[in-house]
Amino acid sequence: MTEDVARQQTAAGAERILLAAVDLFGRHGVKGTSLKTIAVAAGVSPPLIVHHYGSKEALRVACDQHVARVLRTAKTDTVEQGQYPDPLSLMSQLRENRPVVRYLARTLGDGSPLVNALVDEMVAEAERYTEAGVEAGLLRPSANPRARVVVLFLWSMGALVLHEHLERLLGVSLLDGEEPPLPYLQAVLEIYADGVLADGTYEELRHYVSSQGEPDGSERQER
């Protein structure tokens, strides 16, 4: 076996471990998943997990980084296309990244000290690709870009944490099944594209917020 082949096999083993851990941590939680279970799913021995990652907690950190990287790539690719996201493409991304979505839902509800670091990293990435979206003309500018990113991020993550209620009320799942969650996606697209407030309401609310000494935002653009 050549040195290059050995390195490739080593990297492939580490990748299998990581993907198996993301899937199992998302399904059963970190406490409910043993290294032995991950090793069986990845087709490796438990000592190999320790060799690559050191401990289950270190593997959890690697999973956090992987999830943030996957989401960053998906969002960045959409912005770099220089066009509005295709709903069919969004559905496809959701199906392909179900283990990542499931992992996020579980991790955000765990209350682990690692959650803050993951959320901070994802918000920072969201700020970057949102700025790129504004520059590309895909998104409206904001008077307070960070606040907008934080609120939108927490809204979307809230849907994951409350996914059981979403399934109960709308009959769609963000975590399981092959069918795309059409009612959820349609509602999100409508809110983002068309807004919710009727004409005139926005101006009244903005005037009220401005009178309280808060930033009043940029002028509303005509749709």
Instruction: Show me where the domains of the chain are located.
Output: 55-211
Question: Which residues fall within 8 angstroms of residue 92, CB to CB, at 6 or more apart?
Answer: none
Question: Which residues fall within 8 angstroms of residue 170, CB to CB, at 6 or more apart?
Answer: 181, 183, 184
Alpha helices in the chain, H assignment, sequence order: 3-28, 35-42, 46-53, 56-80, 87-96, 98-110, 114-135, 145-161, 163-170, 182-194, 201-211
Res 78: pLDDT: 57
Site of tokens 């979403």 = 166
**Tens digit of each residue's pLDDT, the chain (223 residues):** 565 544 555 667 899 999 999 999 999 999 999 999 999 999 999 999 999 999 999 999 999 889 888 877 776 665 555 554 444 454 556 667 788 888 988 988 876 767 888 888 888 888 988 888 898 888 899 989 999 999 998 998 899 889 999 999 999 988 887 777 889 889 988 998 888 888 778 777 777 777 776 544 444 444 4
Res 223: pLDDT: 41
Q: What angle do CA 150, 151, 152 make, to 5 degrees?
A: 95
Res 192: pLDDT: 86
**Predicted structure pTM score:** 0.70
Res 217: pLDDT: 47
Are 127 and 145 in contact by the 8 Å Cβ rule? The answer is yes
CATH number 1.10.10.10 given to 55-211: no
Res 214: pLDDT: 52
Res 136: pLDDT: 84
**Biggest alpha carbon distance in the chain?**
73
Closest CA to 62 of 71, 52, 72: 52
